[in-house]
Amino acid sequence: MEMLIGGTWQSAASGRTEDVTSPFDGTVTGTVPVADAADVRAALDRAEVGAVTWRRTPAHERMRVLMRAAELADERAEQTAQVISAEAGKAIIEARGEASRSGDLIRLAAFEGTQLYGDSLPLDANRGTGLDKLGFTIHQPVGIVVAITPFNYPALLVMHKLAPALAAGNAVVLKPARATPLTALALARCFTDAGLPDGVLSVVTGPGAGNGPGNRQGLGDALVTDPRVRKVSFTGSTATGQRITQVAGIKKLSLELGSSCPVVVLPDADIELAASAVAVGGYVNAGQVCISVQRVITHPAVAADFLDALVPKVEAIKTGDPGFPDTTMGTLITAAEAERVERSIRDAVARGAKLLTGGERDGAIVSPAVLAGVDPRSPFSQDELFGPAVAVSSAEDFQSAIAQANGSPYGLGAGIFTSDVAGAVRAIREIDAGSVHINWTPLWRADLMPYGGLKASGIGKEGPRSAVAEMTDTKTVILHGRPW
C-alpha cells in the first residue's frame, strides 16, 4: 500500500517498506512505506500550497467535501472495522463500534467548521475611543496542522484530528502509529475520494522516534520542529508528549496523554451497577484505553460486596481470536506489551496485592485481571498500566478517597458511584480530572463533548467544537473611521 503525500499516493523516497502484522497470529496484514525526513519535507512542501487552496475555499464548499467523505466513511465502515481488528488485534465487535463513528464525527466537525463566528468589540467603552472606530474578531485556519496518533483507536483518534483540522480549513500531515497505519490510510482515502484538493492531506508512515544521536531522524522530530507547522495535535504517551514540548518551538500544541484513571465507590453506591460498569471500563480494548479504569477506591464497608460482584463479571469476558464474533477481548498491541503487563501484575503481587482472577498470558493476550489490596503509592497504581487489569484499594472516608483519586500524576478521567447528590457535587468539584462521571466510569465518550486531561494527562481539548477552535487563530480587526 502507498502513503499519501499531498493528495498523491506514492512510495517513500528511499523505496523502503515494512510489513504490518497481526498481534494475534503474526499474519502480514499489509505493507507500507517507511518514510524519512525527505518525505516529511515533501509532505510539508505540498501542505504549504494546500493550506492556501483550502483556506481560500468557502466554508460551505469545505462542508460539501466533508459530507461526501462522511458518506464514504459510512459505506466503508465494515472494511475499516476489518482493518482495525487485523492490525490492532481488537475484537471485531469493538472494531465495528469504532469504525461506525467516523461518518458522524466528520459531520459534527464539518458543521463546526461553518460556525466560525467572531465577536463585535464595544471599543467606545474604552475611554478615549469614540464611535468612529469599529472592531471585531475573525477566525482563520492556523495553516498546517501536524497530527500524530497512537495505536489504540486507529480510526477514532485519527478522525478526531483530521475532521476538525480539515473542517477549519487547514492542511494536515498525519503520522499514524507504526503498528496501525493501514486504518489511517483507508480513512484518508475517504477524503481524497470525496474531492479534497491536492496538497491538503498527507499521511506519512514510518517511525515516530529516531534511533538516537547520529542516526536516522524520526518522523516525529522532523514534523514537529518544522517552523511551517503552526499546530501539533498529538495523542500518545506522556513521555512522547514531553519530548514534543521540548522540541516543537513556538507553535500551538494539543497533547492528549496518558492516565491512571480512578473510580470511587462510596458506601451508598449501587454496588451491582458499579461492578458492571468497572467490568466494562477496565477491560474494553484489553485495557488499552487512555480513559480505562485502572484504580478502584472502595469504602471498606462495601469492598467485599463490590469484589464479589466484580470478579464473576470479569471472568465472563471472552478472550481469543479478535476476528471471531463472540470474542469480547482481543490482544494487546504486541506480545512484548503483554509481557510488560504480565510483569506489572506479578510485581504488584510481590508487593502484597492479591490476584483474584486473571493475569495469565498467552502470546499477546493477557486474561482480564482483578487485584485487591493494592498499595495506592505502588507503581501498579501510579504508572499507566494500559492493560486489562484493575487495582482495588480502600479508603476510610470521603476525603481520603478523593485524595487517593487525585494522588497520581495524571488527571484524564474519573468516576464516582454514589446515591447522594451532595457527595456527587463535592466530588465533581474536588476531583482533578478532565472529565468526571457520576454513576459511571471514565470509560465513556460522546464524540461531541470536550475531551482532554489535566496535569500530566495533557493540554487542550478535543471534540469537534473544541478542536476546531484550537485549530484556528483569532484575528482582531479595527476599522479606523474619522470623528464626525
Q: What are the residues binding ligand NAP (CB under 6 A)?
A: 148-152, 157, 175, 177-178, 207-209, 218, 220-221, 224, 235-237, 240, 243-244, 256-259, 290, 384, 386, 412, 453, 457-458
Beta bridge partners of 474: 139
> For helices 92-99 and 77-88, what crossing angle results, to 10°?
130
By DSSP bridging, strand 201-203 and strand 171-175 are parallel
Residue type, 381: S
Nearer to ligand NAP, 418 or 435 (CB): 435
Q: Please, what is the Cα angle at 443 between 72 and 387, to 5 degrees?
A: 100
Nearer to ligand NAP, 65 or 468 (CB): 468
What is the nearest approach in angstroms of ligand NAP to the Cβ of residue 49?
A: 24
Of 441, 464, 461, 460, the C-alpha closest to 451 is: 461
Residues in contact with 3: Cβ distance below 8 Å, sequence separation at least 6, in sequence order: 9, 10, 11, 12, 32, 33, 35, 39, 181, 185, 202, 203, 204, 205
Nearer to ligand NAP, 207 or 267 (CB): 207
Residues serving a catalytic function are 256, 290
What is the nearest approach in angstroms of ligand NAP to the Cβ of residue 473?
A: 23
DSSP helix/strand/coil, 229: coil
What is the length of the chain?
Answer: 484
What is the nearest approach in angstroms of ligand NAP to the Cβ of residue 468?
A: 17
Nearer to ligand NAP, 262 or 458 (CB): 458
Nearer to ligand NAP, 285 or 394 (CB): 285
Q: How far is it, in rounded angstroms, from Cα 452 to Cα 123?
A: 35
DSSP helix/strand/coil, 313: helix
What is the nearest approach in angstroms of ligand NAP to the Cβ of residue 208?
A: 2
Q: How far is it, in rounded angstroms, from Cα 454 to Cα 255?
A: 10
What is the nearest approach in angstroms of ligand NAP to the Cβ of residue 294?
A: 10
Q: How far is it, in rounded angstroms, from Cα 414 to Cα 291?
A: 8
